[in-house]
Amino acid sequence: MKIAVLSDVHGNVPALDAVLEDLLAWRPDEIIVNGDLVSRGPYSLRCLRRLQAAVPRCRYIKGNHESFVVACADTPPDPGHPTFELSSFAQWTARQLGDAVDELRRWSEHFELTDTDGGSIHVTHGSRLGNRDGIHPHLDDDELAPRLGDAGDLFVGSHTHLPLTRRFNGTLVVNTGSVGQPLDGDARAAYGRFVYRHGRWHAQIARVAYDRERAVRDFHDSGFLEQCGPLARLIHLEVAQSRMHVGRWMARYLGAVKSERITVAAAVGEYLRRAA
- Percent composition of the chain: helix, strand, coil (DSSP 3-state, to 5): 40, 20, 35
User: In the predicted model, what is the mean pLDDT of residues 169-187?
Assistant: 97
Tell me which amino acid residue 2 is.
K
- SS3 readout for 74-124: HCCCCCCCCCHHHHHHHHHHHHHHHHHHHHHHCCECEEEECCCCCCCEEEE
Q: Please give the average per-residue pLDDT across 5-9, as a whole number.
A: 98
The percentage of the chain sitting over the pLDDT mark of 90, rounded to a whole number, equals: 93
Are β-strands 121-124 and 154-157 bridged in parallel, bridged antiparallel, or unpaired? parallel
pLDDT bucket at 276, cuts 50 / 70 / 90: confident
* β partners of residue 171: 168
pLDDT band at residue 151 using 50, 70 and 90 as cut-offs: confident
- Amino acid 115: pLDDT: 66
State how far the Cα of 149 lies from the Cα of 147, in Å rounded to an integer: 6
CA trace torsion 87, 93, 98, 101 (10° rounding) = -80
Separation CA 205–CA 224 (nearest Å): 29
Contact 173, 94 (CB under 8 A): no
pLDDT tens column, 199-227: 889 999 999 999 999 999 999 999 999 99
Is the model's pLDDT at 243 over the cut of 90?
Answer: yes
φ, ψ at 81 (rounded to 5°): -80, 140
Domain regions of the chain by residue span: 2-208, 229-275
In 3D space, the residue among 185, 194, 203, 192 whose CA is nearest the CA of residue 244 turns out to be: 185
- Of 202, 178, 181, the closest CA to residue 191 belongs to 178
Indicate the fold that domain 2-208 takes in CATH: Purple Acid Phosphatase; chain A, domain 2 (3.60.21)
Residue, of 150 and 2, whose pLDDT is higher: 2
Q: Using pLDDT thresholds of 50, 70 and 90, give the confidence band for residue 83.
A: very high
Residue 116 pLDDT: 57
What is the C-alpha to C-alpha distance for residues 197 and 88, in angstroms, rounded to an integer? 46
* Among candidate residues 88, 110, 87, 210, the one with its CA nearest the CA of residue 157: 110
Cβ count within 10 A of residue 78: 10
Q: Enter the pTM of the model.
A: 0.96
User: How crowded is residue 23: how many other Cβ atoms within 10 Å of its Cβ?
Assistant: 22
